[in-house]
Amino acid sequence: MLFTISTVLAASAVVSAVPARRGQTVSVTPHEQYSSSVGVLGCKINTNRVAYWPGAVDCNNICVKLTNGANTLNVLKIDSSAGAHDISYDAWNQLVFGQSATADPQQGGGVDMDYEFVPASECASLLSDGKLPLSASNSMDFAAACMADSSSWVGQNFELINLLDPQCKFGWDEKCTLDLSVSNQPSCPHTLGDPHTPTGDSVTNIEYGTGRQYTA
């Protein structure tokens, strides 16, 4: 996918920083299958700690602190939903019942929880090397928007990897570089966007209600 400086500026108007909301309550529901609307690579993050929430993924507010009684977890808001406040099934199970879904799988619907956006650094442990891993071939609109906001957390803390899909099924597990003074495409050791498989990586989901783990 080609992009230009005009693309960067246009994208920045779409994914702009929004004020962090504090002390809010929402009904939180469980979500089984990993996805990311901006191409965050599931094999490089903790997919058991993800928020699938309404609204565009932001360049700053991607770390959400959820509290249900005495249970608290941080989750990454890296996917958009049509309206539901879904989180990873394992995170929901942990917050509601105090145990992992693999140890004590439960079922249920929305549970009211308190939430607040916290500094993205508080979700650093959910990332394999502290940076947000993006698909070099399919995440450029989001990356460009965050690069245009050079002070944003994502703009300063993302990396491009030559994997095509959030489930890491196609491509090469290799870091790419981007120098806009040289090219408007990332440069990777292998061809950008090559649908090579297998990649050596995978994403594991946890089946709702059973706790069974399976490859996405």
| pLDDT band, very low/low/confident/very high, at 20 (cuts 50, 70, 90) | very low
Percentage, residues of the chain above pLDDT 70: 89
* Arithmetic mean of pLDDT, 128-133: 92
Residue 16 has pLDDT above 60, yes or no: no
Q: What are the CA-CA distances from residue 94 to residues 75, 101, 105, 203 (Å)?
A: 12, 7, 9, 20
Which position has the higher pLDDT, 203 or 17? Answer: 203
Give pLDDT, residue 125.
94
Give pLDDT, residue 170.
98
Q: What is the pLDDT of residues 69-115, one digit of tens each?
A: 999 999 999 999 988 999 999 999 999 999 999 999 999 999 999 99
The mean pLDDT value of the chain amounts to 89
Rounded Cα–Cα distance for residues 131 and 126 (Å): 10
* Arithmetic mean of pLDDT, 40-58: 96
Are the beta carbons of 39 and 139 closer than 8 angstroms? yes
Q: Which domains does the chain have, with CATH numbers?
A: 17-124 (2.40.40.10)
Give pLDDT, residue 207.
98
DSSP string, 134-171: EETTT-HHHHHHHHHSTTSHHHHSEEEEEE-STT--SE
Rounded Cα–Cα distance for residues 162 and 109 (Å): 37
Spell 162-188 as b/e; 16+ CB within 10 A means b: bbbbbbbbbbbeebbebeeeeebbbeb
